[in-house]
Amino acid sequence: MRGDGAPSRVYAPELGEPGSTLVLSAEESHYLVRVCRARPGDRTEATDGRGGVASLRLVSVAGGVEAEVEASSRTTRRRRAWVLCGAPEGSRADWLVEKLAELGVERWQPVDCERGAWTRATGRVERWRRLAVAGLRQARRCHLLEVMDPAEIGTALVGVPEGAAGWLASREGAREVGRSDPDRVAVGVIGPAGGLTAAEEGGIQALGFSRICLSDGRLRTETAALAWSVWWSMSG
């Protein structure tokens, strides 16, 4: 294993019970064998992305990795954040999705707005899901970023959990907002590159969302989404 002082962690949607054999996917096997240079007998961890973590002992690495589950544990998500994000310019969302996964955001919800809709590029959501797994591995988390299909902003807002603390990224918002309440799901709404309309902003505020100003400059959509997530992450 790479000598960076901490065990690697891979993703396996079904972990199985201690004593059972876990067969890793081609992608996770590649990561362990090619990137981490794992060998039979090495120990590592796997997570199901839903709070489960299994300690593994690698049995064979030829072809794909097979490992024995030595122990397992489960934790619940301590803090929850959803990002409802309008379309940025170009393919700028890819980098963003990976970063949100690293920061521990729970759900990535692309939203279609009046001044900006997500293009339905083939394979985009699948690519985001791979990037979410990469971020999970990188940050050694046990909860996977949930990648949603794009939805109308109104539909997405209706699906926000009851009792959530809603935030609307806005240059007219407050600069001093303190911390995010750890007992409530934090929901950040970020407009598309073309901005939200006054009607959209009014509707979001009518739902009880507070405006938050993330910078003294005008941020791009993906920068604002990341800044909001960092603010949330550092509030924990």
State in angstroms the smallest separation of the CB of 36 from a second copy: 14
Q: Which is nearer to a second copy, 61 or 219 (CB)?
A: 219
What are the residues facing 21 on neighbouring strands?
A: 68
Which residues bind to a second copy, rule: CB under 8 A? Answer: 4, 6, 95, 99, 102-104, 138-141, 175, 194-195, 214-220, 223, 226-227, 230-231, 233-234, 236
Q: Which two tokens stand for residue 19?
A: 């004593």
Closest to 98 measured CA to CA, from 54, 57, 147: 147
State in angstroms the smallest separation of the CB of 43 from a second copy: 18
Q: Which is nearer to a second copy, 150 or 191 (CB)?
A: 191
184: helix, strand or coil: coil
Task: Indicate the Cα dihedral angle 138, 85, 160, 139, nearest 10°.
Answer: 10
Q: Which is nearer to a second copy, 6 or 71 (CB)?
A: 6
Q: How far is the C-alpha of 221 from the C-alpha of 211, rounded, in Å?
A: 15
State in angstroms the smallest separation of the CB of 200 from a second copy: 15
Q: How far is the C-alpha of 64 from the C-alpha of 30, rounded, in Å?
A: 8
State in angstroms the smallest separation of the CB of 95 from a second copy: 5
Q: Which is nearer to a second copy, 138 or 210 (CB)?
A: 138
